[in-house]
Structure 1
């Protein structure tokens, strides 16, 4: 028998009609929502739709499966069909462009908070925008956020979250899923609603503060949820350089401040971070 979208009863398809009814409306940030069965990358497709004039700000594109999903630093993101939430939103930020770099961090704050509330799991953020579960099984990456500029005035914000991946389906040993973290529920419809509503809430605060992360409380929320802070880390920087030190803060530009053994603070705008030791008191 040919497999279909109902073959795996543990992974039913999303209910597009119910999601549209719950999320779209005159007062909502979200203006359209489209669920597709399989696509290369929701970020790539939504950006292309915007370029063709087929998507307006507030459009959300959700895929049951991504065959060429994109992560940070041009890495791939793949997962079995209907095993997670893979979606992108088109935004037209009415804040100064130099503050747009906060959008992926905003997405991380929104996703981590929404999952903690709706799935009942402990979550954290690894700088800059990895979403982790932080329970008894240790820290496991369950999601990531990628923001890409579209034209002169828009951004596509992509979020990928592992929901029901099993141990034998994980791409790397450090990955995880809500199910493996003991989530109280893995129904993707309410989880997607929760995350999109949280993004809308934080985006509204950020916009009202003209993109100022401190005035909009985004900086404090990010710092409170960032498990990188207070730890000894190794930063692998663009160009091949490395820096080892204590991650002491996130600054107003979203950069990670790492204090070297000499006490000099180095702002890191991009790079891979490896957690070497737990924060003091853990």
Structure 2
């Protein structure tokens, strides 16, 4: 990792200036706040990998942001990349216990999705839909496109590291695949990454605080309701590609109290706790 607190040349790319780490710290690191440290590095393999490795030496609320990730990972160890300073690539360290029973920690990626969507709605003016369990979708030309994703991992000391990757200023020519998108392509009113990161982290602090105060109860924290309202998977015909090379097809009808996607299939109602969800186009 290399620090970018003092960039070599702040204006080497006028369209993509580096993040202002000192200003971000002044805005977010307050007494009593969730966020306890914030570091910005020029490049690293994966912010999640770095925080998982360092978890035992860090307080809850540590934030690590990379201007560029060279070995970024999504779910199922999928690789993805983006040009330097074209998005927000960051991870946060959380310790939900003992206030939240461990069986409710599975809500953390969904909670993060709600927080990101809420923060972006306010700061970028973009409606971000949630595809269960952890994709962030934007609408471009009438089509849903993936603009970001969320990955939660456990550290050896019991902490949870949640990583967020979000395409901000990518042009159509820079998209890694045709089904990808970015906030800029979705018509964002702002692509200032400092503003967007502050909004997302403040939103995450709010939702995490509500959820923890409710003992992890997603209904009491109004998290289950908020997730359902923003989830584009619900009400659609989907195919769930499950571990073990099996699949289920049905209508996504609910997200239950454990964060599982409930499908109404020809064989009855079945909850899905893990797997890839494919949104099927109407016949």
Range class of TM-score, shorter chain = over 0.9
TM-score, normalization by structure 2? 0.94
Mark the runs of 5 or more structure 1 residues left unpaired by the alignment.
Answer: none
For 1:87, the equivalent position in structure 2 comes to 90
Secondary structure in 1 matching 2:252: strand
How many residues align? The count is 273
For 2:111, the equivalent position in structure 1 comes to 106
Secondary structure in 2 matching 1:134: strand
For 1:8, the equivalent position in structure 2 comes to 13
Alpha-carbon displacement from aligned partner over 1:1-51 (angstroms, at most 9, x marks no partner): xx9663221100000000000000112100000000000000000111224
What RMSD over aligned residues (CA atoms) do the two structures have, in Å? Answer: 1.3
Alpha-carbon displacement from aligned partner over 1:37-86 (angstroms, at most 9, x marks no partner): 000000000111224x2x22110000000000110111113111000000
Secondary structure in 2 matching 1:139: strand
Q: Distance in 2 between matches of 1:92 and 1:122?
A: 29
Secondary structure in 2 matching 1:242: strand
Pairing partner for 1:267 from 244, 264, 271: 271
Q: Distance in 1 between matches of 2:19 and 2:169?
A: 14
Q: Distance in 1 between matches of 2:262 and 2:21?
A: 42
1:239-250 matches, within 5 Å, as 239-250=244-255
TM-score, normalization by structure 1? 0.94
Q: Does 1:61 align with 2:64?
A: yes
Contact 2:140/2:181 (CA < 8 Å) preserved in 1?
A: no
Alpha-carbon displacement from aligned partner over 1:116-166 (angstroms, at most 9, x marks no partner): 111111210000011111354421111111110112431001111000011
Mark the runs of 5 or more structure 2 residues left unpaired by the alignment.
Answer: 1-7
How far 1:102 moved relative to its partner?
0.4
Q: Does 1:214 align with 2:214?
A: no
Q: Distance in 2 between matches of 1:236 and 1:82?
A: 33
Secondary structure in 2 matching 1:277: coil
Aligned in 2, Cα 1:200/1:79: closer, same or farther, shift over 3 Å? same
Q: Distance in 1 between matches of 2:115 and 2:140?
A: 19
For 1:146, the equivalent position in structure 2 comes to 151
Contact 2:55/2:157 (CA < 8 Å) preserved in 1?
A: no
Q: Does 1:116 align with 2:121?
A: yes
Contact 1:37/1:64 (CA < 8 Å) preserved in 2?
A: yes
